[in-house]
Amino acid sequence: MDIWQNVIKTPNEFFENMPKEGGFAEPVTFAFINYFIFGIGLFILSIFYNVFVLIIGTDVNSALFSIIFWFFIFIIFFPLFAVIGLFIAGGIYQFLFKLLEGTGTYEGTVRIVSYSSAVFLVGWIPILGWLFTLYQICLNIIGGTFVHSLPTSKSAIAILIPILVIPLVMMLLSIVLSILIALIGTVL
């Protein structure tokens, strides 16, 4: 709990003093716990939703299937895939930090992403989750300034590029795919 409080309350101090090396076990375990609690929170919300759906008139089998489905998604798969995502995000950010003349290591970058996952502990709470997601961006920027010895502006560029570019690329790919499907449909 001390790590979580330090990350959230005093991120400058935390990332400045954070070990840049020492293995992945501690930061990834920290992130996994945050993701697991996030999954439990989302699962609880899905139960409330299914109870509401039962009240307004759906069949019990559909609600039970939905509860079981969301159990596996939120509590089993989400934490596992989120941990895999830590390493992917770490690679993307590491590339961008190096492009902007950062001096840190891949391990240091994965540590930034892992510890900034502290926001997921309360991220499942409606509305509050969105605010903490924005705070996570700030945590990553702060971490980048200390781990990679970059000015805040360069760290912000490295963190914001994927956040802005990846959704645009996905949107363009979906438009192109839609056009291709429409063209195939008119030919057949």
Query: Between 19 and 30, where is the model more confident?
Result: 30
Res 57: pLDDT:
74
Measured CA distances, 105 to 1, 16, 17 (Å): 26, 15, 15
Asked whether residue 3 carries a pLDDT value surpassing 90, the answer given is no
The model's pLDDT over 86-133, given as tens digits with 9 standing for 90+, comes to 999 999 999 999 999 898 899 999 999 999 999 998 888 888 888 988
The model's pLDDT over 132-180, given as tens digits with 9 standing for 90+, comes to 889 999 999 999 999 999 999 999 999 999 989 988 999 999 999 999 8
pTM of the model as a whole: 0.83
How many whole angstroms separate alpha carbon 21 and alpha carbon 69? Answer: 38
Check if the beta carbon of residue 105 is closer than 8 Å to that of residue 21: yes
Widest CA span in the chain: 63
Other CB atoms within a 10 A radius of the CB of residue 14 amount to 20
How many whole angstroms separate alpha carbon 188 and alpha carbon 180? Answer: 12
